[in-house]
């Protein structure tokens, strides 16, 4: 990008990472820090992420937050209640089952095993819990083995990769995201919320900017199975699910749309070029 009337191009970077998982990523961050100090504008995808990296000395000339957004018209439930019931039956779930979904690649950091453990504990308490794992990946064989070891063979479905996840999310009573790392501002979380599903998710990255605890769902610390079970137990109430799901859908449509994201980037780029709103916040 080149500013009007200026010979020097402007350098803008959009940064999505929060936690660094490997030594390779940590080594790369040494180079990224050097590059970021030379950025005219560094854009984060949530405020928690900006705070995290500011505390660790990342100092561009200007930084700003533009939240991720989704196409809320696309992520609207196109199915009638009858169609959703038929889809549940095709997956082997009955109308009285409590179906808990998780839409994520089957990778170690997504911690699907935590949800399986929680489902086993719920069933031991008499809750007719079922798990629908939407996705595929390297951990599939291990998760299938864990399903058998936990005695959940008839109570877990793994869908594999899906071109359209909306019908599967619509089948669920509650959606979860139980990751131990990676998530900065989850698109999967926004998609589930837009489909009016209450969300139970780990409090990492920008989760607390997506879900207000007790209003749109619940947040818990990564790996805290007890808390996960308690929150899922609370949401066995259809009335509470309906209330939180409706609030979640409203929140996404008010704050986290593609249009809002596009407007945010436009305002900051124009500000950087001197033709509109402020690019962001200058660091001192």
Rounded Cα gap, residues 202 and 183, in angstroms: 9
Identify the residue whose tokens are 């500000």. Answer: 271
- b/e sequence 216-233, b meaning 16+ C-beta within 10 Å: bbbbbebeebebbbebbb
Q: What is the pLDDT at residue 101?
A: 98
CA neighbor of 207 nearest in space, from 67, 100, 14: 67
Pairing state between β 129-134 and 98-103 = parallel
Look at the alpha carbons of 49, 254, 172, 124 in this order and tell me if their dihedral is positive or negative: positive
Q: What is the pLDDT at residue 284?
A: 36
CA neighbor of 14 nearest in space, from 61, 63, 53, 69: 63
Pairing state between β 41-44 and 174-177 = unpaired
Distances, alpha carbon 70 to alpha carbons 127, 176, 197, 247, 264, in Å: 33, 18, 15, 17, 14
Contact 216, 248 (CB under 8 A): yes
Report all structural domains of the chain as residue ranges with CATH numbers, in order of start.
12-69+258-282 (no CATH), 81-255 (3.40.50.2000)
β-strand partners of 281: 63
Confirm whether pTM is higher than 0.85.
Answer: yes
β-strand partners of 64: 43
Per-residue pLDDT tens listing for the chain (284 residues) = 545 555 578 889 899 888 777 788 888 888 888 888 888 999 999 999 999 999 998 988 899 999 999 999 999 877 777 788 888 999 999 999 999 999 999 999 999 999 999 999 999 999 999 999 999 999 999 999 999 999 999 999 999 999 999 999 999 999 999 999 888 999 999 999 999 999 999 999 999 999 999 999 999 999 999 999 999 999 999 999 999 999 999 999 999 999 999 999 999 999 888 855 566 664 43
Q: What is the pLDDT at residue 87?
A: 87
Contact 182, 19 (CB under 8 A): yes
């Amino acid at each position: 990008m080149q500013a009007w009337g200026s010979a020097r191009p402007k350098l803008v970077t959009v940064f999505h990472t929060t936690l660094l998982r490997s030594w390779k990523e940590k080594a790369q961050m040494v180079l990224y820090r050097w590059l970021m100090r030379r950025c005219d504008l560094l854009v984060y995808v949530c405020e928690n992420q900006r705070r995290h990296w500011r505390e660790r000395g990342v100092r561009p000339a200007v930084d700003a937050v533009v939240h991720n957004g989704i196409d809320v018209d696309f992520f609207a439930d196109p199915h009638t209640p009858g169609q959703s019931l038929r889809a549940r039956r095709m997956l082997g779930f009955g109308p009285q089952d409590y179906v808990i979904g998780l839409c994520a690649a089957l990778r170690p950091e997504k911690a699907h095993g935590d949800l399986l453990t929680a489902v086993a504990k719920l069933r031991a308490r008499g809750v007719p819990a079922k798990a629908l794992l939407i996705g595929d990946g390297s951990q599939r064989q291990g998760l299938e083995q864990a399903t058998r070891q936990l005695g959940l063979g008839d109570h877990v479905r793994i869908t594999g990769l899906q071109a359209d996840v909306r019908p599967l999310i619509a089948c669920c009573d509650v959606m979860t995201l139980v990751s131990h790392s990676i998530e900065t501002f989850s698109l999967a979380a926004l998609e589930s919320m837009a489909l009016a599903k209450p969300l139970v998710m780990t409090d990492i990255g920008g989760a607390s900017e997506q879900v207000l605890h007790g209003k749109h769902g619940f947040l818990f610390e990564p790996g805290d199975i007890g808390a996960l079970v308690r929150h899922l137990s609370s949401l066995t109430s259809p009335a509470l699910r309906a209330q939180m799901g409706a609030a979640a859908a409203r929140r996404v449509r008010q704050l986290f749309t593609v249009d809002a994201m596009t407007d945010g980037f436009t305002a900051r780029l124009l500000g950087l070029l001197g033709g509109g709103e402020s690019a962001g916040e200058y660091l001192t």
